[in-house]
Amino acid sequence: MEKKARNANGRSSIYLGANGYWHGRVTMGVADDGEPIRRHVQRKDRDEVVDEVEKLERARAEGRVDQPGRTRFRRVEDLLTYWVEEVAPLTVRYKTLRGYRTAIYKHLNPGIGAHRLDRIQQHPEYFEKLYRKMLDAGYQPATVHQAHRTARTAFGEALRRGYIHRNPVALAKAPRVEEEEIEPLDPDEVQQVLKAALQRRNGVRYVVALALGIRQGEALGLKWKHFDRRKKALKIREAIQRRTWEHGCSDPHTCGAKYHKVKPCPPTCKRHTRACPPPCPQDCTDHARWCPKRHGGGLVLVELKSSAGRRTIGLPDELFQTLLQHEEQQKAERDLAGTEWHEGGFVFTQPNGKPLDPRRDLDEWKELLEEAGVREARLHDARHTAATTLLILGVPDRTVMELMGWSTPTMKKRYMHVTDEIRRDVADRLNALLWNDN
């Protein structure tokens, strides 16, 4: 029997084993504990082993091998789960992470998770087939596109780290998503809404939305310490978020057993206003809101992470005075509530001082529009309205970006709309320029 020779650390070895086969071992990477990860091949013919060892060494040299070893991510599901639980939470915001998890656990893992990672790299069509199945199942193109973006981001990170040598999702085609046409409120509609808002408790909250265009979470997270009376300005520093509860128990599946849905809804179901939810999976760990040890959910005040989001906005004199009046009204409510008042320093509160719930805030907006006799519009359309107003006023782009909290100029296309008023103004200018007899 040929004696196995000891090679230098990291070098490949080829030897004849006691079983009569030729063996080849190639170091492919390093495991988390620092130990080398080696790939093993075995053949009857020595030349075949030499060829296989050379292929592995070329793949290693060209970076076409999973690092630190393919044993960590054998399937697509292994990679996606590791990325969304260990990598993504370090850099993305809560709502972005929730979107990633929904895309992975609801669509990507069930649809393509069982594929071997080393093989799917050559087959972008597997992702396209998944997208088609989602569309056929009734999902909107925007939902399918979210799954596509999530997979592309996860596989892109895997490519940068050397876990894969090709990103198949970058080659896959996702369905086209048509941009929803937004029609901001016109000046007359804004006036109607402002008039009705000032007759309601916390109505100035919607005046702030239409005049300044701040996001819902930012408005509900405003505190009096952010109200600069000397400079007549508001500082945007924090936001309110509604977060999903998490289990604090050791057995989430058993904890939520009482609430697991085991059968699909009947065809005549009238309980759900939207599409009926499917039955829970056998290993369901949801229903954390009923867990006695639940944590991390409810209304949470978070700091704005981006430098663009943290901004200061000057207040028009009318709005400044309205906020001062609102402050006096809140002081009267505080005195009336007495010991029932929860002092959080929020500008807009419930009658007991607690922050406003985003869901109730949306309901109030709908009631306000109906009361004002204004067409139906999303609360977020108030932000589009404010941005379009800045366009009508001719405010410079740099100033608009700072006031709206945008990090890139491309947001102008999404939020600033050419209205009938702008079109009429352009037509009048052309008329004066081309057909002015004077």
Q: Which residues pair with 298 in a beta bridge?
A: 243
The residue type found at 120 is: I
CA distance 91 to 295: 22
User: What is the structure's pLDDT at 87?
Assistant: 94
Q: What is the CA radius of gyration of the chain?
A: 30
Higher pLDDT pick, 255 / 281: 255
Question: At which residue do the structure tokens 């320093």 appear?
Answer: 345
User: What is the structure's pLDDT at 268?
Assistant: 87
User: What is the structure's pLDDT at 3?
Assistant: 45
Among residues of the chain, what percentage have pLDDT more than 70? 93
pLDDT per position as a tens digit, 346-361: 999 999 999 999 999 9
pLDDT band at residue 8, thresholds of 50, 70 and 90? very low
CA distance 346 to 203: 15
Average pLDDT over residues 155-184: 89
Give the fold, CATH level 3, of 187-242+304-415: hpI Integrase; Chain A (1.10.443)
CA distance 134 to 139: 6
Average pLDDT over residues 87-96: 90
CA distance 152 to 135: 19
Higher pLDDT pick, 363 / 69: 363
Is 98's pLDDT higher than 80? yes
pLDDT per position as a tens digit, 54-70: 888 887 776 665 544 44
User: What is the structure's pLDDT at 70?
Assistant: 43
**Please, what's the b/e burial string for 367-386 (b: 16 or more CB within 10 A of its CB; e: otherwise)?**
ebbeebebeebebbbbbbbb
Is 379's pLDDT higher than 90? yes
pLDDT per position as a tens digit, 316-336: 999 999 999 999 999 999 999
Q: How far is CA 435 from CA 368, 421, 429, 431, 438, in A?
A: 45, 21, 10, 5, 9
Q: How many residues does the chain have?
A: 438
Among 207-211, 341-345, 432-436, the minimum mean pLDDT is found in 432-436
Query: Which class does domain 76-170 fall in?
Result: mainly alpha
Tell me the pTM.
0.74
β-sheet with 36-43: strand ranges across: 13-16, 22-30, 36-43
pLDDT band at residue 32, thresholds of 50, 70 and 90? low
Average pLDDT over residues 308-312: 92
Q: Where are the domains of the chain?
A: 1-72, 76-170, 187-242+304-415
Is 170's pLDDT higher than 90? yes
pLDDT band at residue 240, thresholds of 50, 70 and 90? very high
Is 35's pLDDT higher than 80? no
User: What is the structure's pLDDT at 280?
Assistant: 87
Let me know if 320 is exposed, middle or buried by CB neighbors in 10 A (0-12, 13-18, 19+). Answer: middle
pLDDT band at residue 165, thresholds of 50, 70 and 90? confident
CA distance 404 to 309: 8
